[in-house]
A and B are shown apart, each in its own frame.
Chain A
Amino acid sequence: MANLCERNPKFSQPLVLLGQQREVPRLNSVLERLKVDGPVGLVSAGWEEDEDDDQWVRDAIDAPVINSQLYSLADQLFQQDPQVIELLRERQDRLREFREINELQTEHLCVVARELWQRLDVHAGALGPLQQTIGQLQAVDQSYLEAVTTIIVEYEQRIAPKERPSILEYRRQVLERLQDCQALLIAGGHVGVLLNRLNLCRLLQNIQRPIVAWSGGAMALGERVYFYDQFLPHTKREVELSRRGMSLFTGAQVFPRANQRLQLHDQRELGLLARRMTSQCLLLNERSEINWSASGELHATDVLYADDLGQIKEWTP
């Protein structure tokens, strides 16, 4: 049974999650509704060296935009204090080893789950072996998540950010840039890189503002980050758990660009995905919006969800 979709009680600002924005941005109307008319901070670190390629955001909204430079300032930090990046690389190597094992386990369990879905009558509810396999998948996800979290926590302990002048300076620089912002916009890109920079800076812990996040940005704010693309040529990859997100909301797993990355016409694939997720499996498109008001009231428009039978339905929170 999926958990209730909720905003993290530690975060008391409005929170808006959107699907992809670049083609038909609706950021301006969202900001108007939030009554934001002053400068807004932009986190586009997920786009790495293309962090500054933000003209389309500036064109799309009336308010002035201040790019946080979360990525390029971190680059400067790495140059000044190479140990931080050396330890990060070491961490990534360890994560890669775990990831390969996790991929192997996930792939095999998914093959079994698909086969069982074919053999069993899911509509009649004769699901014992399938549920057992799904349970094993969930257990693999859970233990992988714990292993990854341990490695990340160890890294943070090793770099000792609270006592490290270079990191304190990095955080100070970013906060100074964003101090006058009335809201934070969080773009997508490489979700792993985005999370690394958000954590290195402790941005969301240090600056409480209304947040509007889209696509990969919205993915990064959930409890868990899953990677998915069932249409990539040359590779058949299972939906893959990556790591913990920022946990600003719980009880929902968002899948932006769902129609371009998930086989929505395939009920078996979608049903297995919905069963594997411990949260609601929410499918976002360019018109989708999930928002929590300052008081925590939740609204959603144009959000679909996949149920256990792989059927797509409109989601009302």
Chain B
Amino acid sequence: MTTPTPEEIQKAIETGETTIAALLQHQRVPVVSDSRATFLYHGQADSVSLQHWVYGLPSRLELQRVGKSRWWMLSMDLPRRSRIEYKLVVRRHGHEEWLLDPRNERIAHDPFGGNSVVHMTGYEEPEWSLPQATGNRGTFETWSIPSHALQSDREIRVYLPPRYRPNRRHRLLLLHDGDDYVRYSRLAAVLDNLITRWEVPPLVVGLLNPQDRLVEYGADRRHAEFVVEELLPELERRYPIIREPSGRCLGGASFGGVASLATAWYYPNTFDMLLLQSGSFAFTDIGRHTRGPVFDPVVKFMNRFRDSIGKPAKQFYLSCGVYESLIYENRSLVPLLQSAGFQVKFEEARDGHNWENWRDRLRSGLTWLFPIPAWFYYE
């Protein structure tokens, strides 16, 4: 089956409903051909636009009505291997509605609902992130811990891996926004797969969830105190985990990345490894930042950190989407960390600030931070 060009799609619409229906019958919409994507909407509207989050493009791009038909169309170049999330904004009678693309089955969910997704040529959803019908699975335990530092009780979920052995010491991964990683980045399936394939060792994973996210994760000392002085001892009391920095990794995405870096900076020699995905590492060299008041403590922390880097960890895995506004801040961090003598792995993807981008980088991050000699094992 060949993919129709934008011109062929337009011509089919102009020819009539039967023709365009036949043309699209076995086509995925948006129609992707090499590095060109054609977005389509069919329905009554005054105007239709594409709302996306690709930094560097106007955030809304108008679809054009095809003749006098009810079809709306936008054809645009997008780089190969890109993965783009979007919504359609349909305006009728002065009202605006944000819609998932009704012709597109691909949806990425997130805490705000979900977005439609287009996969450009060369992008493939990683098979290691798909839940397996058979095979060993990890289990979850949930408990709560009173926190003096945060002045409230906190619910913690812990992932216990396949091949979990109470008589053996396991490595620990502590993840900010842990439940979101499970819900939107398929964390459980990713861990199950990587562990059963002997790509990473059987990790115990503590899932942290905030109550006031932008405050707690915004380089807040109280959060760091909770993680290191309250949660870590409790995890060590409950589970057989390695009680050394070399066995501990702290990680998170976006503000969770800031919380990870800040916690490790406030408490040096606690974590040897950091997993930082699209960290909101806003900083200023001069003047004021323009990212809004929630970033004030972040910028303050990042400026201090950049001035006095300390020894927050030994190994840093960083990833960021090139369509994120944060790409500049993340790229800037790499030479800084390298010049301080840390081991750094930085990966970019043609993706945005979203959970599927973070999912797609987990294998690379975890296998780099937790290498095991999979080479020797054959199950």
A-facing residues in B33-83 (Cβ within 8 Å):
none
Closest A residue by C-beta to B373: A190
For the complex formed, measure the closest distance between the CB of B138 and the CB atoms of chain A, giving whole angstroms.
Answer: 15
User: Is B143 part of the contact surface with A, judged by Cβ < 8 Å?
Assistant: no
Is the Cβ of A234 less than 8 Å from the Cβ of B367?
yes
Closest A residue by C-beta to B364: A233
Complex contacts, B379 vs chain A, CB 8 Å: 20, 22, 188-189, 215-216, 257
A215 to B198, CA, bound (A): 14
Is the Cβ of B377 less than 8 Å from the Cβ of A216?
yes
User: Is A232 part of the contact surface with B, judged by Cβ < 8 Å?
Assistant: yes
User: Is B28 part of the contact surface with A, judged by Cβ < 8 Å?
Assistant: no
A24 to B375, CA, bound (A): 23
Closest B residue by C-beta to A24: B134
Q: Taking A22-B135, A232-B199 as contacts, is the C-beta distance between A190 and B376 under 8 angstroms?
A: yes
Complex contacts, B363 vs chain A, CB 8 Å: 233
Contact bitstring A179-214, B, C-beta under 8 A = 1, else 0: 000000000111111000000000000000000000
Complex contacts, B21 vs chain A, CB 8 Å: none
A217 to B135, CA, bound (A): 19
Is the Cβ of A256 less than 8 Å from the Cβ of B378?
yes
Closest B residue by C-beta to A232: B374
A256 to B377, CA, bound (A): 11
For the complex formed, measure the closest distance between the CB of A244 and the CB atoms of chain B, giving whole angstroms.
Answer: 16
A227 to B376, CA, bound (A): 7
For the complex formed, measure the closest distance between the CB of A1 and the CB atoms of chain B, giving whole angstroms.
Answer: 28
User: Is A273 part of the contact surface with B, judged by Cβ < 8 Å?
Assistant: no
A188 to B377, CA, bound (A): 7
Is the Cβ of B165 less than 8 Å from the Cβ of A191?
no
Complex contacts, B213 vs chain A, CB 8 Å: none
Of listed B135, B364, B367, B377, residue having the most chain A CB within 10 A? B377
Is the Cβ of B165 less than 8 Å from the Cβ of A49?
yes
Complex contacts, A237 vs chain B, CB 8 Å: 375
Interface residues on chain B, size class: 10 to 19
A50 to B196, CA, bound (A): 13
Of listed A192, A229, A240, A256, residue having the most chain B CB within 10 A? A229
A-facing residues in B188-230 (Cβ within 8 Å):
197, 199
Q: Taking A49-B165, A50-B163, A50-B165 as contacts, is the C-beta distance between A229 and B135 under 8 angstroms?
A: no
User: Is A93 part of the contact surface with B, judged by Cβ < 8 Å?
Assistant: no
Complex contacts, A232 vs chain B, CB 8 Å: 199, 367, 374-375
User: Is B368 part of the contact surface with A, judged by Cβ < 8 Å?
Assistant: yes
User: Is B288 part of the contact surface with A, judged by Cβ < 8 Å?
Assistant: no
User: Is B238 part of the contact surface with A, judged by Cβ < 8 Å?
Assistant: no
Q: Taking A50-B163, A233-B363 as contacts, is the C-beta distance between A189 and B368 under 8 angstroms?
A: no
A155 to B135, CA, bound (A): 39
User: Is B291 part of the contact surface with A, judged by Cβ < 8 Å?
Assistant: no
User: Is B237 part of the contact surface with A, judged by Cβ < 8 Å?
Assistant: no
Q: What is the number of residues of chain A that contact chain B, defined by CB distance less than 8 Å?
A: 27
A189 to B135, CA, bound (A): 16
A-facing residues in B146-201 (Cβ within 8 Å):
163, 165, 168, 197, 199
Contact bitstring B236-261, A, C-beta under 8 A = 1, else 0: 00000000000000000000000000
A108 to B168, CA, bound (A): 40
Closest B residue by C-beta to A20: B379
Complex contacts, A216 vs chain B, CB 8 Å: 377-379
Closest B residue by C-beta to A220: B378
Closest B residue by C-beta to A257: B378
For the complex formed, measure the closest distance between the CB of B246 and the CB atoms of chain A, giving whole angstroms.
Answer: 19
Q: Taking A24-B134, A49-B165 as contacts, is the C-beta distance between A189 and B377 under 8 angstroms?
A: yes
Closest A residue by C-beta to B196: A22
A229 to B378, CA, bound (A): 10
Q: Taking A49-B168, A53-B163 as contacts, is the C-beta distance between A229 and B375 under 8 angstroms?
A: yes
Q: Taking A24-B134, A50-B165 as contacts, is the C-beta distance between A191 and B376 under 8 angstroms?
A: yes
For the complex formed, measure the closest distance between the CB of B217 and the CB atoms of chain A, giving whole angstroms.
Answer: 28
Q: Taking A23-B135, A50-B163 as contacts, is the C-beta distance between A192 and B168 under 8 angstroms?
A: no
Is the Cβ of B163 less than 8 Å from the Cβ of A215?
no
For the complex formed, measure the closest distance between the CB of A66 and the CB atoms of chain B, giving whole angstroms.
Answer: 21
Complex contacts, A260 vs chain B, CB 8 Å: 197
Complex contacts, A257 vs chain B, CB 8 Å: 378-379
Complex contacts, B364 vs chain A, CB 8 Å: 233-234
A227 to B377, CA, bound (A): 9
Is the Cβ of A229 less than 8 Å from the Cβ of B368?
no
Complex contacts, B368 vs chain A, CB 8 Å: 233-234
A304 to B50, CA, bound (A): 49
Of listed A192, A193, A227, residue having the most chain B CB within 10 A? A227
User: Is A306 part of the contact surface with B, judged by Cβ < 8 Å?
Assistant: no
29 A-B pairs with C-beta separation under 8 A: A20-B379, A22-B135, A23-B135, A24-B134, A46-B377, A46-B378, A49-B168, A50-B163, A188-B377, A188-B379, A189-B377, A190-B376, A191-B376, A193-B376, A215-B378, A215-B379, A216-B377, A219-B378, A227-B376, A229-B375, A232-B199, A232-B374, A233-B363, A233-B364, A234-B345, A234-B368, A234-B371, A237-B375, A256-B378
Chain B interfacial positions (CB closer than 8 Å to A): 134-135, 163, 165, 168, 197, 199, 345, 363-364, 367-368, 371, 374-379
Chain A interfacial positions (CB closer than 8 Å to B): 20, 22-24, 46, 49-50, 53, 188-193, 215-216, 219, 227, 229, 232-234, 237, 240, 256-257, 260
* Shortest Cβ-Cβ A-B pairs, 7 listed: A216-B378, A188-B378, A215-B378, A190-B376, A233-B367, A23-B134, A227-B375
